[in-house]
Amino acid sequence: DQQVKQNSPSLSVQEGRISILNCDYTNSMFDYFLWYKKYPAEGPTFLISISSIKDKNEDGRFTVFLNKSAKHLSLHIVPSQPGDSAVYFCAASDGGSEKLVFGKGTKLTVNP
Amino acid sequence: KAGVTQTPRYLIKTRGQQVTLSCSPISGHRSVSWYQQTPGQGLQFLFEYFSETQRNKGNFPGRFSGRQFSNSRSEMNVSTLELGDSALYLCASSAMTGNTEAFFGQGTRLTVV
């Protein structure tokens, strides 16, 4: 049973435009969410996180939105840059533990 | 501040052998978690250690084990290797346990032949 789902395997956007990556979860016990960026054969790089007590968190070009009632979160990247091209993973935890449950990832391609 | 260091980066082992992977967390971090990444299953949680105690364990067979030392460094061991154990093994370091950012190392690429 996949508790964290990223339904779009890939996304392609033009440089300078907005990239929106989506993530859905099923476990209502999840209360902390993270986004990671990953290149092949490397470890994931932490981007941004959000606690369930918030509905938005911003860090530079990255903003994460959380809709608890819909069990949905999204990562907005504005403006998108070619260097943002990578696989993006959504992850969730249920507090009290560092066990992260990951989605399968979305491959973002930003075209110059 | 140095990041998470995993050694070795690459490893080739034969079926039936055992392997030990090492992880040095970010200085001051006390929680270390291990993950396995494969093309079919994605990133899957193996176990978490905090202050030398295993706090959480994923759904992996007993051939997968780990430990954490008093300096927070951690090792994971896989015994009786199978071809399906070929994967990228990732270590993540956190300052505390629960609702904190986890920072990953570069991983160890294990190939079982």
Q: What is the pLDDT of residues A62-89, one digit of tens each?
A: 999 999 999 999 999 999 999 999 999 9
**Regions in chain A scoring below 50 on pLDDT:** none
Type of residue numbered A55:
D
Q: Do B102 and A46 touch (CB under 8 A)?
A: yes
Q: CA B94 → CA A4, A61, B20, B77, distances in Å?
A: 21, 24, 21, 21
Per-residue pLDDT of chain B (113 residues; tens, 9 = 90+): 679 999 999 999 999 999 999 999 999 999 999 999 998 888 999 999 999 999 999 999 999 999 999 999 999 999 999 999 999 999 999 987 777 889 999 999 999 99
Q: Rounded to a whole number, what is the distance in Å from the CA of B81 to chain A's nearest CA?
A: 21
Give the closest of A95, A101, A104 to B98, CB-based. A95
Q: What is the pLDDT of residue A95?
A: 72
Using CA atoms of A28, A62, A22, B43 in order, give the dihedral in degrees to the nearest 10. Answer: -70
B35 phi and psi angles, rounded to 5 deg: -135, 150
Average pLDDT of the residues of chain A: 94
User: In the structure encoding, which two tokens stand for residue A60, read together?
Assistant: 């530079």
Q: What is the pLDDT of residue A40?
A: 84
Q: What is the pLDDT of residue B33?
A: 95
- Distance from C-alpha of A95 to C-alpha of B100, rounded to nearest angstrom: 9
Q: What is the pLDDT of residue B1?
A: 62
